[in-house]
Structure 1
Amino acid sequence: MRAAVELFASDGIHVTGVAKLADVAHVSTRTLYQHFPSKEALVSAYLQRIESEESILGETVLEREDLSARERLLQLFAERPADPRSAKVVRGCPLHNTAVESAGTLPEASAVVERHKREFTARLIDTAAEAGARRPEALGRQLAVLFEGARALSTSLNDMRPFQDAEELAKTLIEGAAEPA
């Protein structure tokens, strides 16, 4: 699994063949297939591993109990992922990258990505409600679009400025969504 996380993140899913995975993992192809009956099963396990390590996705701030709900929403945009120019960083969201790269050819993996993105949006909606937003569902969905868009554009441009712009927009959205006093 370590080899899959490393290679899928750096080289992509389609470029990473089973033989290369087996070589980097120091196992035979046969052994790899004993643990994962198909490459799609390995990709799904990879996605589940990424999900379990939410720090990779930048979403752990939503679980922080030392911050108010409003602060958690704002902090989501303030805590930027590591600079994409760094050799040690996963470029963009690994779940999103998998969805784009597989383009519907890996239905099991696509289902994992879709479930996670829906759960992330639901967590934003719940946090927006906790923060007292008049329309928490709308705010949560808007923040999801903003966060995912900033992450994708930062990766495409190899520049963290979209996160700075997203943080400013998130503040505006969150302040505008607050219940009147």
Structure 2
Amino acid sequence: MLKHNTLKQAIAADLEQAFSQMGFANPSVAQLKDACNVSLRTLYKHYPSKEAMVIAALEHRHVRYLEFLSQDSGSQDIHQQGVEALQATFSKLAHWMSTNAPHGCMSTSAVAAFPDHNEINQVVMKHKLEVRDRLGQLSQRADLATQFFLLHEGIAAAWPVLGQTAVVEANHALTIFMES
């Protein structure tokens, strides 16, 4: 059973990379199979539809992103609190965007590609709400978590156009917001 789960997780990781690079509309199942380096039968055994493949990729990315945000969190939680912790998180987001999502947020792209698919929308909603809650925890201001989340999402949405400037401006807006 462990081998089965390991293969399934490896396929999900490969699907994440494939959708990140090719988007959701363009890749055929045959291209996804090739990207995962498995047979069509094996791909369909684990993920019986393209939508199931999208969900697996999104869930895998969700775990990776939350783990990425948590890296070095021990020292960050001790030395950085409130605004400093959010600014550090926004810097991490810039690194994530430049290395993992230069074309924009994969979750947002999935909703745009499958607007009426309830399960995909639920996976994206779960991801976004957990990110929002994480920002509330980091800032020690759960009451402002949604506002911080909007800055986070603004960085991700503007990244393809503004790059690092999106982070600089979000940090500036955060400082002004917290001073008022």
Is TM more than 0.5 here? yes
Deviation at 1:97, TM superposition (A): 2.2
Superposition CA RMSD, Å? 2.6
Task: Determine whether 1:75 maps to 2:88.
Answer: yes
Report the Cα distance in structure 1 between the residues aligned to 2:178 and 2:112, rounded to whole angstroms.
Answer: 29
- What's the counterpart of residue 175 of structure 1? 179
Deviations 1:38-64 (A, max 9, x none): 1111111111111111268x6337944
Report the Cα distance in structure 2 between the residues aligned to 1:122 and 1:111, rounded to whole angstroms.
Answer: 16
- What's the counterpart of residue 65 of structure 1? 77
Deviation at 1:120, TM superposition (A): 1.7
Check whether the contact 2:105–2:157 (CA below 8 A) recurs between aligned residues.
yes
Deviation at 1:73, TM superposition (A): 1.9
Closer/same/farther in 2, CA of residues 35 and 144 from structure 1, 3 Å limit: same
Deviations 1:45-92 (A, max 9, x none): 111111111268x633794433333121232223352396x6x54222
Deviation at 1:13, TM superposition (A): 1.3
Report the Cα distance in structure 1 between the residues aligned to 2:18 and 2:33, rounded to whole angstroms.
Answer: 11
- 2:69 counterpart letter in structure 1: E
28-37 or 93-102, which moves further after superposition?
A: 93-102
Report the Cα distance in structure 1 between the residues aligned to 2:119 and 2:96, rounded to whole angstroms.
Answer: 30
How many residues align? The count is: 165
- What's the counterpart of residue 157 of structure 2? 152
Task: Determine whether 1:165 maps to 2:169.
Answer: yes
Instruction: Flag the structure with higher helix content.
Output: 2
Closer/same/farther in 2, CA of residues 81 and 55 from structure 1, 3 Å limit: farther
Consecutive unaligned residues of structure 1, counting only runs of 5 or more, are 177-181
Deviations 1:108-147 (A, max 9, x none): 121111011112222323444x3xx5xx42x211111111
